[in-house]
């Protein structure tokens, strides 16, 4: 039972875990992310690896980071919420810890984890979406993680769904994540409460009477209790999510679409309207099989599990051919 370490690097915390070949986490540790200090983040990662390696016989390290990861699977080209620009993260951590290290985009790590151990098991063309502050994701086709020629495939959040629409932090307008993310859900609720305070009275009450203080947790809690305004917000965001999913289906023709990320905690409140909008918008919908829309199963630890398993596959690849793997990564299909 080979043990590897998976690390999920976020803008506020860094979580690491020892993971076995069945995707089971044996131990976890966390630290606060020094987000504006690139060397500080690397030092925290090395500290966590050292702490876990002292108590478990680990063979490799996998790091999942939000950002563009080059095809060498070691260099972070750009991380929007961290001070990394063309950062040779894999070499740095490998040198500090003495363990083979793989760096992967966090959406790819999540897609891999769900395909291997979660909602994507049994799927042959799996597209996983991570719906949180923005939208990320990953693609696994016939057991191969599709990373693209330059390592930055599956940046789904920046599909254009509304020409000349809302400005996005990427510099473009009308990106999908501006309409179908957790941040979009909050904006929808706040706008609704501002223009229709009577209709959104429950949401306002939860936020102390201030529309701008409404959070995603407020919207989810109210929707679970049947509040009409909160349910409408999920309907709007779910419709936008399904809109983009239909476009993805036109590209990849998946048999499984997975909705994960923080907003996934809402469960059917999000999945149901998204699936309905997806089927309604799907090209030739009455003349083709329709992909199954599933909720992610591995929760907040999916990045750790996926990154650890990718590191394990990397070590096996080195053992088989003596060279560092690049491009697609092979995954056994259950």
Q: pLDDT-based confidence at 264, cuts 50/70/90?
A: confident
What are 15-61's pLDDT values in tens digits? 999 999 999 999 999 999 997 888 999 999 999 999 999 999 999 99
Burial 201-220 (b: 16+ CB within 10 A, else e): ebbbebbeeebeebbbebbb
Tell me the average pLDDT across 112-140.
Answer: 95
Specify the range with the lowest mean pLDDT, choosing from 47-51, 186-190, 329-333.
329-333
Are 222 and 192 in a shared domain? yes
- Say what the pTM is: 0.89
Tell me how far apart the alpha carbons of residues 217 and 160 are, in angstroms, rounded to a whole number.
27
Residue predicted with more confidence, 125 or 284? 125
Are 263 and 193 in a shared domain? yes
Mean per-residue pLDDT over the chain, rounded: 92
Query: For residue 116, is it within any domain?
Result: no
Of 137, 148, 141, the residue nearest 123 (C-alpha): 141
The neighbouring-strand residues paired with 144 are 141, 330
What are 81-97's pLDDT values in tens digits? 778 899 999 999 999 99
Which domain range does residue 144 map to? 123-295
Are 163 and 303 in a shared domain? no
Which H or E element spans position 314? helix 302-321
pLDDT at 315: 81
Specify the residue for token string 């599990």.
305
Tell me how far apart the alpha carbons of residues 113 and 119 are, in angstroms, rounded to a whole number.
9
Are 96 and 8 in a shared domain? yes
How many domains in the chain?
2
Are 243 and 107 in a shared domain? no
């Amino acid at each position: 039972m080979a043990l590897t370490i998976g690390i999920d690097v976020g803008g506020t915390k860094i979580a690491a875990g020892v993971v076995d070949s069945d995707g089971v986490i044996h131990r976890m540790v966390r630290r606060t992310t020094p987000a504006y200090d690139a060397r500080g983040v690397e030092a925290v990662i090395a500290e966590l690896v050292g702490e876990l390696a002292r108590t478990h016989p680990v063979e490799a390290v996998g790091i999942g980071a939000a950002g563009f990861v080059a095809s060498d699977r070691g260099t972070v080209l750009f991380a929007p919420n961290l001070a990394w620009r063309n950062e040779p993260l894999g070499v740095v951590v490998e040198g500090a810890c003495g363990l083979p290290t793989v760096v992967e985009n966090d959406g790819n790590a999540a897609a891999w984890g769900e395909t291997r151990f979660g909602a994507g098991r049994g799927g042959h063309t799996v597209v996983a979406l991570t719906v949180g502050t923005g939208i990320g994701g990953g693609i696994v086709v016939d057991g191969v993680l599709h990373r693209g020629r330059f390592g930055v495939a599956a940046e789904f959040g920046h599909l254009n769904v509304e020409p000349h629409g809302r400005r996005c932090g990427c510099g473009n307008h009308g990106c999908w994540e501006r309409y179908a993310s957790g941040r979009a859900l909050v904006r929808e609720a706040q706008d609704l409460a501002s223009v229709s305070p009577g209709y959104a009275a429950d949401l306002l009450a939860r936020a102390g009477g201030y529309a701008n203080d409404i959070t995603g947790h407020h919207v989810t809690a109210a929707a679970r209790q049947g509040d009409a305004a909160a349910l409408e917000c999920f309907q709007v965001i779910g419709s936008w999510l399904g809109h983009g999913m239909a476009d993805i289906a036109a590209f990849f023709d998946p048999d499984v679409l997975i909705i994960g990320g923080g907003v996934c905690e809402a469960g059917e409140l999000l999945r149901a309207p998204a699936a309905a909008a997806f089927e309604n918008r799907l090209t030739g919908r009455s003349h083709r099989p329709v992909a199954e829309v599933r909720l992610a199963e591995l929760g907040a630890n999916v990045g750790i599990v996926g990154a650890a398993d990718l590191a394990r596959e990397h070590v096996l690849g080195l053992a088989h051919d003596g060279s560092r793997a690049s491009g697609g990564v092979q995954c056994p299909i259950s």
